[in-house]
Amino acid sequence: MALAKITSITGRGLTVPGNDIDTDRIIPARFLKAVTFDGLGEGLFFDARKAIADAGRIHPLDDSRFHGAKILLSGANFGCGSSREHAPQAIQKFGFRAVIAESYAEIFFGNSTTMGLACVSADRADIARLAAAIEADPYLEITVDLVGREVRFGGQRIPLTMRDSARDALVHGRWDSIGELLDGREAVAATAARLPYLAAPQK
Amino acid sequence: MPQSLFQKVWQAHSVGQLASGQTQLLIGTHLIHEVTSPQAFGMLRDLGLKVAMPHRTFATVDHIVPTDQRSEPFSDPLADAMIKELRKNCAAHGITYFDLASGRQGIVHMVGPEQGITQPGTTIACGDSHTSTHGAFGAIALGIGTSQVRDVLATQTIALGPLKVRRINVEGRLRPGVYAKDVILHIIRTLGVNGGTGFAYEYGGEVFDRFSMEERMTVCNMSIEGGARVGYVNPDETTFTYLKGRPYSPTGAAWDEAVVRWRATASDAGCHYDDVVTLQGADIPPTVTWGINPGQGIAITETIPDPAKATAADEKASIVEALAYMKLTAGAPIKGTKIDVAFLGSCTNARLSDFKEVAKYLKGHRVAPGVKAIAVPGSQMVGRLCAELGIDRVFRDAGFEWREAGCSMCLAMNPDKLVGDQLCASSSNRNFKGRQGSPTGRTLLMSPLMVAAAAVAGGVADAREIFGVNN
Ligand code: SF4
């Protein structure tokens, strides 16, 4: 399977502030009642958007200044909670291609990488600086450079970090491991044969 | 070299190294349910692939099933489509499926253990974060995303980087009225909701040695709430006794061989841990959450945190956000907070021992007027056992609704939901904003007995006082 080599993402950004943003908030469970991932983008942060709209304010996702943003900024432990892949699916289907946050919950990070959604980490102060720059100029062009390990915007640059295995997988176009896993077929059979509980089909 | 259980099981299931540096890990047992599997089967079809090991794949239906009116078609057409899709996929691929009519249906994390499918020294994966529950048997049990469900269906493996191991000892004894739920809420409160990032949690010490399998499951279940990827307890006599005679447990000579093997998978004395934390059982209070993540817990005797007293700016902000959502008052005692709903269920606390323990105290009490109280066995098997023991009667007599097995009000995918900003005393595992089905619904996590105490008192209460649990 030939996969795109994801070396950098360039586009506009928007910020959903806060720490410990869980996947229930990213995509409320009622949007999981489906047998496909189609149309998930509409459910992204649905309840938070509605609550803010009800209060007479505008959530960044609904703010026309940020329409078409490709890069999502947030805080620490982003994507904690439920393992639902619907969360990164919703983020991707909404149009985002990269997330910049202080840190991620592990399952979310793994799910995102497998889908080719780049989740990079940066320092809190750097993220705040970038967020302020976006607020000042929503049309600011931002580049998340996975090869150069930095985020560039308006003449500034901030370092990004990302687990090597994930960064390499994106950069070399092997973020979806299914092909490689299928190649291991014989080794899988050999490993399984050594494990007594797998040897014979149970009743 | 002495090794931990994690290292032994990891090595035994390592197929090889991938170009990414990750390990291709063989998954011995794959559990699937209706929410995260249909898209994976769809991807499989798109790729023209078959299920690699259908005999190592087991399915049940839990998230979307109604717990009262079970006749089909379900009133919710989306839920109805999901159960039909699961049936179709299991039949097409020859996968064992514990359907509603099987008498063995239930929350997937209850079905695996009670059927004897969950065994020590194995790897288990399921498209559900609370797969960590199965670690109670000394398995590496991983919650995975849908693309990985596809990977396991197609190859019986996943790509995964190694984890560090943190040993968490809980020594001494728990005080009366303190339960496994309090232990894990206390651990999360102490180590933080992302304290476990990058770690497998190995639980041990005297408290865990004495714990039943069901108590161990309660703790392992919420490892994920502490940020750990997996949690486990080393297998011992308690584990073997639990498994003996279960439908999928080995029998005869195979049983004896299995026990020898299982015993050998336990962590060796003197093995290396990347971190060790030791807590005293006697220090753990009955714990209640007051906020919007499972780490925001306090002792039942404490007051709700005051942002003015928070030292870090971060902490202050998260307290302010939580209090605003929860509509609770800083500095007020948590005890006495009025509740609207009491929910006793979920894969954390809906096992026989949970209902048995509560029934012991609930006899002769009544649910307070205005409180909706529901008790939902986690599996049909638990429901049956409760009926045989008359436990369901005790709950009904007290004013609880007694339901059929499923995830119920733990999350918002079936008809059991909070309405508006109702406040729910819940034995489940997540208190996230909107988790229980209303975007403004509020959840307080606590042990089953504390849920019952809240139901009876009409507000958050100390079960030790309400029920005279001996102190
Ligand atoms: S009971 Fe709750 S946490 Fe457990 S599997 Fe069901 S929805 Fe998930």
- Write the residue in A51, A80, A86 that is nearest to B439 by C-beta: A51
Select from B385, B354, B368 the least CA-distant residue to B456: B368
Which residues have C-beta within 8 Å of that of residue A84, sequence separation ≥ 6?
A: A23, A27, A32, B35, B36, B145
Per-residue pLDDT of B406-443, as tens digits, reads: 999 999 799 999 999 999 999 999 999 999 999 999 99
Q: How confident is the prediction for chain B on average, in pLDDT?
A: 97
| Alpha helices in chain A, H assignment, sequence order | 23-26, 46-54, 86-94, 106-115, 124-136, 164-171, 178-183, 185-193, 196-199
Select from B315, B139, B147, B103 the least CA-distant residue to A37: B147
- Write the residue in B28, B129, B161 that is nearest to A198 by C-beta: B28
The pLDDT confidence band at residue A203, using thresholds 50, 70 and 90, is very low
Considering chain A, what percentage of its residues have pLDDT values greater than 70? 98
Whether ipTM > 0.90 holds is: yes
Distance in Å, alpha carbon of B394 to nearest chain A alpha carbon: 32
Same fold yes or no, B5-162+237-261 and B291-467: yes
Specify the CATH class of A8-174 in words: alpha beta
Amino acid B212: pLDDT: 98
Amino acid B314: pLDDT: 87
Separation of CA B161 and ligand 1 centre (Å): 26
Per-residue pLDDT of A129-177, as tens digits, reads: 999 999 999 999 999 999 999 999 999 999 999 999 999 999 999 999 8
* Residue B33 Cα: closest atom of ligand 1: 5
CATH superfamily, domain B164-234+268-283, is Aconitase, Domain 2 (3.40.1060.10)
- Write the residue in A48, A165, A198 that is nearest to B21 by C-beta: A165
- Which residues of A fall within a CB distance of 8 Å from B435? 24, 29
Amino acid B186: pLDDT: 98
Separation of CA B18 and ligand 1 centre (Å): 32
**E runs forming strands in B136-195:** 140-143, 157-160, 164-171
What values do phi and psi take at B353, rounded to 5?
-65, -30
Q: Reduce the DSSP state of residue B341 to 3 states and report it.
A: strand
The pLDDT confidence band at residue A123, using thresholds 50, 70 and 90, is very high
Q: Which of B61, B351, B429 to mutate to test the pocket of ligand 1 (most atoms within 8 A of CB)?
A: B429
Residue of chain A whose alpha carbon sits nearest to that of B34: A35
Domain B291-467: assigned CATH number: 3.30.499.10
The pLDDT confidence band at residue A202, using thresholds 50, 70 and 90, is very low
Distance in Å, alpha carbon of B121 to nearest chain A alpha carbon: 9
Beta carbons of B301 and B190 less than 8 angstroms apart: no
Residue A200 has pLDDT above 70, yes or no: no
CB atoms B145 and A188 under 8 Å:
no
Beta carbons of B293 and A22 less than 8 angstroms apart: yes
Per-residue pLDDT of B155-169, as tens digits, reads: 999 999 999 999 999
Domain boundaries, chain B: 5-162+237-261, 164-234+268-283, 291-467
CA A23, CA A86: separation in Å to the nearest integer?
8
Taking residues B315-327, what's their average pLDDT? 96
Beta carbons of B121 and B265 less than 8 angstroms apart: yes
Specify the CATH class of B5-162+237-261 in words: alpha beta
- Which residues of B fall within a CB distance of 8 Å from A59? none
Tokens describing residue B119? 């065994």
Per-residue pLDDT of B261-312, as tens digits, reads: 999 999 999 999 999 999 999 999 999 999 999 999 999 999 999 999 999 9
On the CB side of B387, how many CA atoms lie within 13 Å of its CA? 12
Considering chain B, what percentage of its residues have pLDDT values greater than 70? 100
How, if at all, do strands B199-204 and B230-233 pair?
A: parallel
Enclosing H/E stretch for B401: strand B401-402
Count Cβ atoms below 10 Å from residue B383 Cβ, excluding itself. 25
One-letter-per-residue 3-state SS of B16-84: EECCCCCEEEECCEEEECCCCCHHHHHHHHHHCCCCCCHHHEEEECCCCCCCCCCCCCCCCHHHHHHHH
Beta carbons of B86 and B92 less than 8 angstroms apart: no
Per-residue pLDDT of B227-272, as tens digits, reads: 999 999 999 999 999 999 999 999 999 999 999 999 999 999 999 9
Beta carbons of B50 and B93 less than 8 angstroms apart: yes
Amino acid B185: pLDDT: 98
User: Is B258 in the A-facing interface, judged by CB distances under 8 Å?
Assistant: yes
